[in-house]
Amino acid sequence: MTGTAPDDGSGDDRPDVRPDGGEADADLPGTDLTVRTHEAYPRNALFDWLDQRLELDHTLLGKAFPEDKYGSFLLGEIALFTFVILGLTGTFLGLLYNPAVNAVTYEGNALQYADTEVPAAFASVLHITYDTTFGMFARMMHHWAAYLFIAAIALHMFRVFFTGAYRNPHEPNWFIGSTLLLFALVEGFFGYALPYDNFSKTATTIGFQMTGTIPVVGSFLQSLVFGGAFPAGADQVIPRMFFLHVFLIPAALVGAIALHMAVLMRQKHTEHAPSSRGEGRPDDDDDSLVVGMPLFPQQFLVSTIVFLLTAATVAFLAGFFPVQRIAAIGPATPTSTPSHVGPDWFFMWVFGSLKMMPSWLGEWGRFAGGVVVPSLIIGVMMVWPLLDNPEHPVHFTADPLDRPLQTALGVAAVMLIIVLSIDGMRATVAAVLGVSDAVLYPWLVALTVGMPLFDFAVVYWLLKRRKRRKSRTGTAC
């Protein structure tokens, strides 16, 4: 990246420009790229030492963060910071966890299980939770950080999708980002197995069974992922889940996150619609450069606040809202399934898809509900930038209201996930409404098919009408 004049807008060589006042203004637009942080902080020896060796100013600290009207650009950062929290709390837990299923006698503070025989993994999680200082807190933080990690990734993807920030030339980061979401879900599945309580045994059994329904390669994948039958071969499966959860998938996550950031650095952010540029700034329509705050010091301070708020939120939730209370659930037993069993919220839609398949589909219903439907949804999501692919590079975000088709499809997809999740909670819904499962079933089928279609039609019609009116008034003026 050289500091030459704006180029043809191919997306790769757009210079960063910061509009943070001061003398930098004189140099706009983009002819001088040096961010003079060390001039602003002349007596910082550490900074000078690093800068002389790593050229921080030029390549890293000068990265422009465009104006962010709604704070929605921070969702990705929240995901990143929850991942940091996951790493820290996970390290604490990993040092105390024991991935074994042989029966041991638990001796500790959880009276319910004192002097009883439970699986070693379950006993070690009881020890972490009830016999270790800050153990319960660390576990709950880990669990809540995982929830927020996946939620932040999902919301971040909504932002990118609805504003069209995935378009040419930003498709690579959409592919990497959706792979990250997949890794995060897989990581969640493996982590859920580890306490070896009766919920996690049930969830892992279903995952094992679902993998087996894949034609031809099903049993190979079962061997590869689980390393043995579950629950019959839990003594082989649990250590493998532990390895996958604490090493392999986290390593893949770290790699994918690094790649995600590297592509972001190389390509630069998409910018909100050019009206965000003020007086004396580069031309509104000029997308050959990016206007924004430099990473250091402005964005760094914003990010620090975001990190602290994220940590505070996770700590608050962990402190006051305990989840996955294994003492109440009980250890994995081969002969029973708890009556109110259910997955974490981010798998509720897969659970719903499995539940809704009619009996007459037989084996194919299991494959369709557990593998085909989720794969189709995730697959379309991943390749979406190839389907909606403008010929010329776009560097500004779009207003969702100006994109009837994409916005309507996005709303329909979100609605589909929501109704499938409701299907997953069918028993609860039936109990709340006071009707039987059988009465509820056809209504839920209708809702699952109809609701996304209905939403698509309504949103598309409204936005199309808006567009027509806008163009009419536009010509009138």
Partner 1 sequence: MSKRTTDTDTEADTDTDAPDIPQSDDELTRRNMAKLLAGIGGAAAIGSFGVDYAAGLPGSLDTGSETLYVEGTRLVDRDGNPLTAADALSTDEFDKMDVFPEKEGGGALVTKRATTLLLRFPEDEYEAPTNIEGTAKGYVAYSKVCTHEGCLVAGEQGSELRCPCHGSLYDPTKGASVTGGPASRALPQLPLGIADDEDGTLLLATGPFEGPIGTEE
**Closer CB to partner 1, residue 255 or residue 358?**
358
- Work out how close the CB of 444 gets to partner 1 at its nearest, in angstroms, rounded to a whole number: 11
Is 133 a residue that touches partner 1 (CB under 8 A)? Answer: no
Please select the residue that binds partner 1; options are 2, 335, 473, 475, rule is CB under 8 A: 335
Binding mask 246-275 for partner 1 (x = CB under 8 A): ------------------------------
Is 59 a residue that touches partner 1 (CB under 8 A)? Answer: no
Total residues contacting partner 1 by CB under 8 A comes to 48
- Work out how close the CB of 232 gets to partner 1 at its nearest, in angstroms, rounded to a whole number: 5
- Work out how close the CB of 163 gets to partner 1 at its nearest, in angstroms, rounded to a whole number: 37
Using an 8 Å Cβ cutoff, are 173 and 263 in contact? yes
Sign, CA dihedral 56-57-60-61, equals positive
Backbone phi, psi, residue 238, to 5°: -60, -45
Contact set for partner 1, span 436-455 (CB under 8 A): 436-438, 441
In angstroms, what CA-CA distances link 171 with 177, 263, 405, 406? 10, 10, 19, 16
Contact set for partner 1, span 183-212 (CB under 8 A): 202, 205-206, 208-210, 212
Is 145 a residue that touches partner 1 (CB under 8 A)? Answer: no
Is 117 a residue that touches partner 1 (CB under 8 A)? Answer: no
Using an 8 Å Cβ cutoff, are 320 and 37 in contact? no
Contact set for partner 1, span 225-244 (CB under 8 A): 227-229, 231-233, 236
**Closer CB to partner 1, residue 305 or residue 431?**
431
**Closer CB to partner 1, residue 217 or residue 386?**
217
Binding mask 397-426 for partner 1 (x = CB under 8 A): -----------------------------x
Stretch that binds partner 1, among 335-343, 393-401, 407-415, 443-451 (CB under 8 A): 335-343
**Closer CB to partner 1, residue 361 or residue 386?**
361
Please select the residue that binds partner 1; options are 2, 339, 473, 475, rule is CB under 8 A: 339
Is 338 a residue that touches partner 1 (CB under 8 A)? Answer: yes
Please select the residue that binds partner 1; options are 34, 112, 219, 275, rule is CB under 8 A: 219
Please select the residue that binds partner 1; options are 10, 52, 102, 336, rule is CB under 8 A: 336
Best CA proximity match to 371, nearest among 229, 209, 183, 151: 209
Contact set for partner 1, span 346-385 (CB under 8 A): 351, 354-363, 365-366, 369-370
Which residues here bind partner 1, judged by CB under 8 A? 202, 205-206, 208-210, 212, 219-220, 222-224, 227-229, 231-233, 236, 334-341, 351, 354-363, 365-366, 369-370, 426-427, 436-438, 441
